[in-house]
Structure 1
Amino acid sequence: MFSIIQAAGWPIWPLLLCSVLALTLIIERLLSLRAGRITPPKLLDEVLQLTHAALPGPDVVQKLEQHSVMGQVLAAGMLSVLREPRIDEGRLRQAFQNAGRVAVHELERYLSALGSIASAAPLLGLFGTVVGMIELFGAQTPGGGTNPQQIAHGISVALYNTAFGLAIAIPALLFYRHFRARVDEYTLVLEQAAERLLPLLLRQAAARGA
C-alpha cells in the first residue's frame, strides 16, 4: 500500500483524507440511524396506551423525551398540553412540527458532508490525473529524448489517482443515498406517530381545561 501511495504522488493525500473522513461518517451514521435509537417498535403503542387513560406527569414525559428521537417528538406534544391545558389543535400541531424539524435536522447530520465527499472525490482524482499528464509531458526533453522513469511516474500518478477517486466516490455515494432514504422513512414514521397521538392529547387537553 505504501508503494502504491508513493507511485500515486502527492495528489493522493487529499484523497486519502477524504477516504478517512468518509469512512468515519459512514460508521457514525450507521450507529446513529439504527431503528432502536430513532423509532423503537413498541414505543408508540405504549405511549398511546398510557395517554388514553390520562396525561402522564412531567417526570414520565421527561424520561420519554430522553428515550429516543420518536420520544422527543411525542414528548413535545405532551409538554405543550402540560404547559397550556387549553391548547388548541393548531398550536399543538405546531409543537409537533417544531419538534419534528429538530429531529429531522439531527437525523440529517453529516449527510451533506458525506455527499460532498462523494462529489469531490472524482474531481480530486481527475486533478491527480491532470498532474500525472503534466509530468508525462514534462518527460519530453528538448532534444527529443524521453525519461522513462518520469514517464512511468506520470502514468502512475494519473491512473492511481483516478482509481482512488472512483473507489472513494462510489461507496460514499451509495451510503449517502442509503442514509437519505432511511431518513425519509424515519420522517414518515415520526409524522404518523404524531398524527396518532394528536387526538388523544386534544381530548386530554379538553378534559384538563374543563
Structure 2
Amino acid sequence: MWELVKAGGWLMMPIIVASILALAICIERGWALRSRQIAPPGLLPEVWGWIRNKQLNADKLRQLKAGSPLGEILAAGLLNSRHGREIMKESIEEAANVVIHNMQKYLSLLGTLAMISPLLGLLGTVIGIIEAFMAVTGAGMTDPTMLANGISKALVTTAGGICIAIPSMVMHRFFIRHIDNMAVEMEQQAVKLVDIVHGDREVDFQVSAP
C-alpha cells in the first residue's frame, strides 16, 4: 500500500487528506443523524401529556428544545401557540428551516470531496505521464518499459481519487435522502401538534399517566 502511495507522487497527499475528511464526516453525520436522536419516539405523546396535565412551563420548554431537533421544532410552536394557529405554524416552519440546515452540516463538504477527488487523481495522472515522457525523451527510447512503468505509476492517483469519490458520493446521497425522510416525519409530528392544540384533531395516541 505504501509503495502505491509513493508511486502516486505528491498529489497522493491531498487525496489521502480528502479520504480522511470524508471518513470523518461520514462517521460524525452517521452518529448525529440517528433517527432516535432526531425524532425520539413517543415525544409527541409526552408533550401532550404535559399540556393535558397543565405541566407545560418554561423549564419543560427549555428541556424540550434542548432534547432533540424535533423537540426544538415543537417547542417553537408551543411557545407561540397562544397567538393563533397561523403564527404557531409559521414559528414551526422557521424552526424547521434552522433544524434542517443544521442537519445538513458538513454535507456540502462531503459532496465537494466526492467531486474533486477524481479530478485530483486525473491531475496526478497527467503530471505523471508528462514526467514519464520527459524522462524517456531525455534518456532516449532505449527501453520502452520505462514509459510503461511511468504511465502505470501515474494511474495510481486516478485510482485513488475514484476510490474516494465513489463511497463519498454514495454516503452524500444517503444522508440527503435520510434528512428528507426525517424532515417529513418531523413535519407530520408538528402538524399533529398544531391540530391537537387548536382542537382540530382528536388525540390518536395513548398518553400514560404521569
TM-score normalised by length of structure 1: 0.87
Q: Is 1:128 paired with 2:124?
A: yes
Deviations 1:124-163 (A, max 9, x none): 1111111111112112235743567863653244221111
CA RMSD across the alignment? 1.9
Q: Is 1:48 paired with 2:44?
A: no
Q: Is 1:176 paired with 2:204?
A: no
Query: Which secondary structure state, in structure 2, belongs to the residue aligned with residue 40 of structure 1?
Result: coil
Gaps of 5+ in 1: 204-210
| Alpha-carbon spacing, 1:162–1:72, altered in 2? closer, same or farther (3 Å) | same
What residue in structure 1 maps to residue 7 of structure 2? 7
8 Å CA contact 2:136–2:146 kept in 1: the answer is no
From 184, 190, 194, give the equivalent of 2:186.
190
What residue in structure 1 maps to residue 25 of structure 2? 25
| Alpha-carbon spacing, 1:151–1:97, altered in 2? closer, same or farther (3 Å) | same
Q: Is 1:91 paired with 2:70?
A: no
Gaps of 5+ in 2: 200-210
8 Å CA contact 1:55–1:78 kept in 2: the answer is no
Identity of counterpart residues, as a percentage? Answer: 38
Query: Which secondary structure state, in structure 2, belongs to the residue aligned with residue 141 of structure 1?
Result: helix
Q: Structure 2: how far apart are the matches of 1:57 and 1:195?
A: 21
Aligned length: 199
| Alpha-carbon spacing, 1:55–1:92, altered in 2? closer, same or farther (3 Å) | farther
What residue in structure 2 maps to residue 208 of structure 1? none
8 Å CA contact 2:39–2:182 kept in 1: the answer is yes
TM-score normalised by length of structure 2: 0.87
Q: Is 1:59 paired with 2:55?
A: no
Q: Is 1:159 paired with 2:155?
A: yes
Query: Which secondary structure state, in structure 1, belongs to the residue aligned with residue 10 of structure 2?
Result: coil
